[in-house]
Amino acid sequence: MEDAAKPELIEEMRGPVMWLTINREERRNAISPGVLSAMGAALVRANQDRAVRAVVITGAGHRAFCSGADLQSGKSFQFDYSEPYVGFANLFRQARQSTVPLVARVNGACMAGGMGIMGMCDLVVASPTAIFGLPEVKVGLFPAQVMSVIGNLLPRRVLAEMCLTGEPLSAAQALGFNLVNQVSQDLDAGVQALLGRMLDKSPAAIRRGLYTMKKIEAMAFEESMSFAESQIGLFALTEDAAEGQLAFREKRPPVWTGR
């Protein structure tokens, strides 16, 4: 039985990085309404606070990153069908609009809806013991919402096999299919190394760059080129762009303002 006083999502700042830990280890970090609500609210705050340079999402313990919907509750797929926008889909919408990089620290089983949380992130570091699966078909369901965020991350045949058989990928297979950025024996060291390579770069370029990258993904070629033409001029107008080019000419590290 869960402790009602225990937060289902732990939020903490570690320097400029917001860490979000799904804190339901006894349920293999399964998704609950509380987890969805808290994670959505945290993403809103992260995108409103320029001091937050990245968000790391992980699960408590070592067994699971997130096992998906909490089937033990018996209420995971009971929706108000008069409501056109539901909680999990709204979280994916928020992630899609985020201009703060989202990093998944996959510390164990990443299954079903957990694949959606991993897939909505921009970068992924996984433990060698992590597994990635879409087992919904085994309980008479299908990963409908999840496909919206992982459909472009996996080869079509691989995605079909995962959805239709429910069988998982190993961490090595996930790396081979470019589903994750890296598999790290020392997971925390891998996450910190990736963050370190990102946090010394221009905050302004990353913020507008993520915005641009996410916008053009759904555009046709000519539409995306026209949009990119307008964006490159805006990049050049930022204080960070002026500082970065000056620092390059003066052969010194840049001092970013993030503007």
Residue 155 lies in a domain: yes
Residue 258 lies in a domain: no
Helices 221-236/203-216 angle, 10° precision? 170
Residue 79's pLDDT is 60
Same domain, yes or no, for 28 and 118? yes
Same domain, yes or no, for 62 and 176? yes
Q: How far apart are CA 60 and CA 76, in angstroms?
A: 21
Residue 211 lies in a domain: yes
Q: How far apart are CA 164 and CA 135, in angstroms?
A: 9
pLDDT along the chain (259 residues), means of 10: 77 98 95 94 97 98 92 61 72 96 98 97 98 95 92 96 97 98 98 97 96 94 93 92 95 95
Q: How far apart are CA 3 and CA 226, in angstroms?
A: 53
Structural contact between residues 84 and 64, judged by C-beta atoms closer than 8 angstroms: no
Q: Is 121 helix (H, G, I), strand (E, B) or coil?
A: coil
Q: How far apart are CA 15 and CA 8, in angstroms?
A: 22
Residue 3 lies in a domain: no
Q: Among 112, 159, 164, 152, which Cα is nearest to 133's?
A: 112
Same domain, yes or no, for 131 and 243? no
Residue 193's pLDDT is 97
Residue 212's pLDDT is 96
Q: Is 21 helix (H, G, I), strand (E, B) or coil?
A: strand
Residue 84's pLDDT is 58
DSSP state of 108: S
Same domain, yes or no, for 142 and 105? yes
Structure tokens at 139: 């309980």
Residue 83's pLDDT is 62
Same domain, yes or no, for 86 and 71? yes
Q: Among 99, 100, 109, 106, which Cα is nearest to 134's?
A: 109
Residue 208's pLDDT is 95
Residue 214's pLDDT is 95
Listing DSSP states for 178-235 in one string gives TSSSEE-SSHHHHHHHHHHHHHTS-HHHHHHHHHHHHHHTTS-HHHHHHHHHHHHHHH
Same domain, yes or no, for 30 and 132? yes
Range of the domain at 224: 203-250
Q: Which helix (H) or strand (E) holds 150?
A: helix 144-150
pTM over 0.75: yes
